[in-house]
Amino acid sequence: MNRRDIEFDAEGVLLRGWFYPAEGASGRAPTIVMAHGFSAVKEMYLDSFAEVFADAGLNALVFDNRNFGASDGVPRQEIDPWAQVRDYRHAITCACTLDEVDPVRIGIWGTSYSGGHVLVVGAIDRRVRAVVAQVPLVSGSANVGELVRSDFRAGFREMFDADRAARFAGDPPAMVPVVDADPLAPSALPTPDSYTWFTETGKTRAPSWRNEVTLRTVEMLGEYEPAGYIGRISPTPLLLVVAREDVLTPTHLAIDAYERAREPKKLVILPGGHFDAYVKGFEGASAAARDWFVEHLLV
């Protein structure tokens, strides 16, 4: 695949990634802007999705989120969802400056945490002409309510408050594992399939991935409500791709959000769990996204 490295300024932070030119394009082509989900870096299967899009005649611009992977930004390993939303918009601006890109045919694709981001960006940025949200986080508070036992929540709140006081005193942010072998141990994503996928994929595909985020990353996750924007995406076409057995971003939450979206929209339900969209269910997930973008941007 004839990809090239790119970098662009996001208001003082340099973000880095890859640009995949559309195969067979004779002029400016539609372009899909893509970033990964919670703590993940672009090597964790985003190249596979970008190649599918490029083979279909779509450019793909893939970038690492600020504070992660090849991109700059501090504090390292911190996820501010609203900063990541703004960075999607910076990436769109970057794409529109490239010779291969038709600036009036921009699509956005996100997965898991960034699946929530594209719901927000699709609602507020009218340069976007098609949206695909794969196994998306739609409500931080509801997601935390599903994953964290009620008797554990007071302990997390005490940790958040202590970290806030320590930062005020000049200490560095506290850190917490992204995943842990023990789902009852403190971690950001306390499900067994999260531990398996992140640790195995980190070893085989993404040695730059680190199993830690700042503690306030988890606090900001619980405050983030992208589904509040879903009714405003229309008339931009929206595809929601969910996994039937998703326990990380639970299936029923995504389907409830889909019901609040307006036309044009489409729901695709894949077999398997959250992480199957990248591996066992990759063909189904990537084909659904590709076909949606081709229908609304290329044809």
Q: Where are the domains of the chain?
A: 4-140+225-298
| Region of 214 on the Ramachandran plot (φ > 0 left; ψ -120 to 50 alpha; else beta) | beta
Nearest in space to 59 (alpha carbons), one of 101, 97, 121, 110: 101
Residue 274 DSSP class: G
State how far the Cα of 43 lies from the Cα of 69, in Å rounded to an integer: 9
Ranges of the chain whose pLDDT falls below 70: 1
- Which residue reads 């996001």 in tokens? 10
Residue in the structure block whose two tokens are 């010779």: 99
Interhelix angle for 140-147 vs 251-260, to 10°?
A: 160
Contact of 84 with 66, CB cutoff 8 Å: yes
> What top-level class would CATH report for the domain 4-140+225-298?
alpha beta
User: CA-CA distance, 272 to 268, in Å (whole number)?
Assistant: 13
pLDDT at 185: 87
Residue 38 near residue 6, CB atoms below 8 Å: no
pLDDT at 70: 98
pLDDT in the model for residue 1? 64
- Residues 164, 168, 169, 173, CA torsion sign: positive
Q: For residues 197 and 112, what is the distance between their CA atoms, to the nearest angstrom?
A: 13
